[in-house]
C-alpha cells in the first residue's frame, strides 16, 4: 500500500511548529550535507500532499532553485523532485493552481487518499502545516512520522498535535484503541551538532 509519510520539519520540545508565522519565502539551507528527512526518500515518493499556505510558498520558491548554480546539491535535487511530483493541494478557498502537476482537492482527506491508493505509484509525502497534519491524524491516515525536533520550549504558537484538555481525568491513562490515540514504533533517531534530533516513527495498527 502507498504510505502517507508526515514530514514535521521543525517541532519544538513543547510540540509547536517552530515558526508561528510562516516566513515569506522558504530559506535555502546552507548545509551541504543531504537532508535527513527528505534525501533518503525522494526516490520513493511521487506525490506531495500540501495545504494552501505551504503550496503558495513552495510554488513561488522551489521551481526556480534548480537553475541557481550556487545552490547546494540537495536544494537543486529537491527542486527537481518537487517539480515532477504530483502535488495535491487541500483547500476550499484556493481558486486555482499554476505549478506543473498540481491539482486542488476540495473534499475529505480520507476519500482523496483512498482514490490515490487505488492507483499504482510511490509513497505520499504529507508536507502541510499543523492543521493539515491534524486532519490526517484525525482520519488515521498517517503511516509514518518524520520529525526534526528542536531543543527549545517556546510556550506558544501552532501545535503540531491536537491535545484535548482533560485535567480531571481519573486515571491519567488513555487506553489502547481510544478515539484520538495513535501509537507509533520508533525506527531511527539521530542527534545533530545544533542540538536538534531527527526522529522516525512507523504507525502501529
Residue bearing the bigger pLDDT, 201 or 22: 201
What fold does the segment set 4-24+34-164+173-204 form as a domain? Dihydrofolate Reductase, subunit A (3.40.430)
d(CA 109, CA 141): 8
Least-confidence region, from 21-35, 129-143, 157-171: 21-35
Task: Identify the sign of the CA torsion 24, 195, 35, 134.
Answer: negative
* Mean pLDDT of all residues in 193-200: 91
Instruction: State yes or no: pLDDT of 22 exceeds 60.
Output: no
The tens digit of pLDDT for each residue in 95-124 reads 999 999 999 999 889 999 999 999 999 999
The domain spans of the chain are 4-24+34-164+173-204
Looking at the DSSP assignment, which residues form a beta bridge with residue 204?
183
Confidence tier at 58 by pLDDT (50, 70, 90):
very high
Q: How many angstroms separate the first and last alpha carbons of the chain?
A: 14
Residue 157 CB: number of other CB atoms within 10 A? 16
d(CA 198, CA 191): 6
Least confident of 141-145, 169-173, 196-200: 169-173
Q: Which three cell numbers stand for residue 84?
A: 515532477
The confidence score (pLDDT) of residue 19 equals 58
User: In this predicted model, what pLDDT tens digit does every residue of 162-196 receive, in sequence order?
Assistant: 876 666 666 667 777 777 788 999 999 999 888 89
Amino acid at each position: 500500500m502507498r504510505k502517507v509519510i508526515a514530514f514535521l520539519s521543525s517541532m519544538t520540545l513543547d510540540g509547536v511548529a517552530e515558526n508561528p508565522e510562516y516566513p515569506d519565502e522558504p530559506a535555502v539551507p546552507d548545509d551541504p550535507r543531504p537532508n535527513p528527512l527528505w534525501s533518503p526518500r525522494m526516490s520513493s515518493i511521487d506525490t506531495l500532499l500540501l495545504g494552501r499556505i505551504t503550496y503558495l510558498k513552495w510554488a513561488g520558491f522551489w521551481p526556480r532553485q534548480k537553475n541557481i548554480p550556487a545552490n547546494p546539491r540537495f536544494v537543486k535535487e529537491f527542486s527537481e523532485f518537487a517539480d515532477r511530483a504530483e502535488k495535491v493541494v487541500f483547500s476550499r478557498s484556493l481558486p486555482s493552481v499554476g505549478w506543473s502537476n498540481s491539482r486542488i482537492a476540495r473534499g475529505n482527506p480520507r476519500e482523496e487518499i483512498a482514490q490515490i491508493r487505488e492507483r499504482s505509484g510511490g509513497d505520499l509525502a504529507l508536507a502541510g502545516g499543523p492543521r493539515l497534519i491534524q486532519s490526517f491524524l484525525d482520519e488515521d491516515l498517517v503511516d509514518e512520522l518524520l520529525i526534526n525536533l528542536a531543543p527549545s520550549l517556546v510556550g506558544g504558537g501552532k501545535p503540531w498535535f491536537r491535545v484535548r484538555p482533560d485535567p480531571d481525568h481519573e486515571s491519567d491513562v488513555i487506553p489502547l484503541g481510544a478515539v484520538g490515540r495513535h501509537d507509533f514504533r520508533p525506527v531511527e533517531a539521530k542527534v545533530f551538532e545544533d542540538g536538534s534530533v531527527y526522529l522516525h516513527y512507523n504507525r502501529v495498527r
